[in-house]
Amino acid sequence: MKVPSSTSFALLGAGLIAISYGLARFAFGLFVPPIRDDLALAPDVIGLIGSLPLISFVLATLVAPVTAVRLGARNTTVLSGVFGVVGLGLISQASGALSLSVGVFACGICTGLMMPALTAAMQALVNRSLHGRVSSVMNAGTSVGVIVAVPAVLFIASAWRSAYFAFAVVAVVGVVAAWAFIPSVSRVTPLNAAPPPPISSLQWSRLFRLSLFAFAMGFVSAAYWIFAPDLMVTLSDQPPGATGWLWLAVGIAGLGGAVVADLADRNNPPITQALMLMMLAASLTLLAASPGQIVITIFSALVFGLAYMSLTGLYLMTGIRLLPGRLSMGPVLPFMAVSLGQATGSPVVGLMVKTFGYADAFSMFAATGIVVALLSPLYPRHIEQEPEDPPEDETGLQAAYDHQLQGEDGEPWVDQGLPDSETEEIQH
């Protein structure tokens, strides 16, 4: 099997992330209105079901690094895709809350396994100097997947079963592509890289604060991801198909999140986090205040998409920087915290919608976001941050990866291997 080039691997990874994150995870909120009507589900039940893929995501993420080592990157990626196919297929045939729950739970396992498997392959196949670029391209797959789901809502909003069956077919294509193009390799750490030092009390303290902020952001964002389309349909005369424009705006704006996160790393992460959380809260308020005004609702989706993707990128870089030398733990912890926050927020917002109504529930979640934003001065900085501003070429996602491994001399480890090539072959 030929080793894919960095570009080919990044594009393939983005496609698989689009399926596992965009279609299997975040597309669910788009179809809540017709699913709720067809299956006669109350908002609090929808909230509980919406939390299940987030719980299974966390559980899968916990075992994903070991699974990638034991099974190899290709087999783990294929396993992730199979869970996606099964989950999407079950959702398309759901007859009630139980079958729908099993389907979304399987989709969460797909999401939790996919990124660790692709990261394992990237560490083995892609030159370390390109890890930042490749990761950025793969992360953009989430927005691409959200955008891909939009035509299904715009043209067949009421036929949600057909849409999910089509998603399952796309997932089958992803499984075949993963089997054909991802070599069976495991996570690789260079032999001449120094072992990571013990995690200090200062690191644990800052990781705890990072996790709290990530949890709070996930909690607040759950309202939009699960219930924004249903709010739009319920509180206005907009047809169900119009909700597709929300997710199109979220996906497009989300593509700019990587740029904002990189700028935050170059400047002041606490201030950027405060601004993005304020924008997240504003998006909830805008949608709840004017659900019948399509221009305002689309603008709220643009604000939400940019804020959410920027914050997840910021948390990713902070987690990597706080745990140098730990290739799996640093990037995973903040994403687990976000998912736990969403898993907690989803049933809470469902209960609040049932009790107080959509407008009040969204307003209270927005107020929570504002309170968390005011606490942003407590956002953790880098462990070894110098008083002066770091040079421009030592910030951003690639710089975070550059400082992940250190050599025996204590300096960042430099890849001395052969350059990336499409002609190299790997035995499997």
Nearest to 105 by CA among 57, 175, 171, 167: 57
Average pLDDT over residues 166-187: 87
At 32 the pLDDT is: 87
Phi, psi at 406, each rounded to 5°: -125, 145
For residue 312, CA distances in Å to 72, 254, 259, 262 come to 27, 10, 12, 11
pLDDT surpassing 50 at residue 351? yes
Low-confidence winner among 27-41, 163-177, 337-351 (lowest mean pLDDT): 27-41
Give the pLDDT band of residue 177 (cuts 50, 70, 90).
Answer: very high
At 144 the pLDDT is: 86
Between 261 and 234, the more confident residue is 234
**How many C-beta atoms surround the C-beta of residue 392 within 10 A?**
9
What is the C-alpha separation between 269 and 262, in angstroms, rounded?
A: 10
Give the pLDDT band of residue 290 (cuts 50, 70, 90).
Answer: confident
Structure tokens at 315: 């948390």
Architecture of domain 1-188: Up-down Bundle (1.20)
Between 317 and 28, the more confident residue is 28
Structure tokens at 91: 């959702």
Give the pLDDT band of residue 332 (cuts 50, 70, 90).
Answer: confident
Average pLDDT over residues 177-192: 70
Q: Supply the angle between the helices 97-125 and 43-71 in degrees, to the nearest 10.
A: 30
Average pLDDT over residues 55-78: 88
At 82 the pLDDT is: 97
Instruction: Delimit the domains of the chain by residue range.
Output: 1-188, 199-400
What is the C-alpha separation between 41 and 33, in angstroms, rounded?
A: 10
Using one digit for the tens of pLDDT, what is the confidence trace for 122-134?
877 777 777 777 8
Average pLDDT over residues 64-89: 91
- Find all residues with CB under 8 Å of 374, minimum gap 6, and list them: 274
Same fold, 1-188 and 199-400: yes
pLDDT surpassing 90 at residue 175? yes
Using one digit for the tens of pLDDT, what is the confidence trace for 10-43?
899 999 999 998 899 888 888 888 898 899 999 8
Average pLDDT over residues 47-66: 90
What is the C-alpha separation between 292 and 238, in angstroms, rounded?
A: 6
DSSP bridge partners of 193: 407
CATH topology for the 199-400 domain: Growth Hormone; Chain: A; (1.20.1250)
Look-up of token digits 């992330």 = 17
pLDDT surpassing 50 at residue 420? no
Round the average pLDDT of the chain to a whole number and report it: 82
Low-confidence winner among 296-310, 359-373, 409-423 (lowest mean pLDDT): 409-423
Give the pLDDT band of residue 379 (cuts 50, 70, 90).
Answer: very high
Give the pLDDT band of residue 417 (cuts 50, 70, 90).
Answer: very low
What is the C-alpha separation between 164 and 77, in angstroms, rounded?
A: 21
pLDDT surpassing 50 at residue 299? yes
Using one digit for the tens of pLDDT, what is the confidence trace for 389-406?
444 445 555 555 555 555
Please report, rounded to a whole number, the percentage of residues in the chain having pLDDT higher than 90: 40
What is the C-alpha separation between 28 and 228, in angstroms, rounded?
A: 11
Q: What is the 3-state secondary structure (H, E, C) of the chain?
A: CECCCHHHHHHHHHHHHHHHHHHCCHHHHHHHHHHHHHHCCCHHHHHHHHHHHHHHHHHHHHHHHHHHHHHCHHHHHHHHHHHHHHHHHHHHCCCCHHHHHHHHHHHHHHHHHHHHHHHHHHHHHCCHHHHHHHHHHHHCHHHHHHHHHHHHHHHHCCCHHHHHHHHHHHHHHHHHHHHHHCCCCCCCCCCCECCCCCCCHHHHHHHHHHHHHHHHHHHHHHHHHHHHHHHHHHCCCCCHHHHHHHHHHHHHHHCCHHHHHHHHHHCCHHHHHHHHHHHHHHHHHHHHHCCCCHHHHHHHHHHHHHHHHHHHHHHHHHHHHHCCCCCCHHHHHHHHHHHHHHHHHHHHHHHHHHHHCHHHHHHHHHHHHHHHHHCHHHCCCCCCCCCCCCCHHHCCHHHHHHCCCEECCCCECCCCCCCCCCCCECCC
DSSP bridge partners of 407: 193
Between 194 and 206, the more confident residue is 206
Q: Confirm if 49 and 100 have CB atoms less than 8 A apart.
A: yes
Residue at 344: amino acid letter: T
What is the C-alpha separation between 283 and 72, in angstroms, rounded?
A: 41
Q: Mean pLDDT: which of 153-157, 331-335, 423-427 is highest? A: 331-335
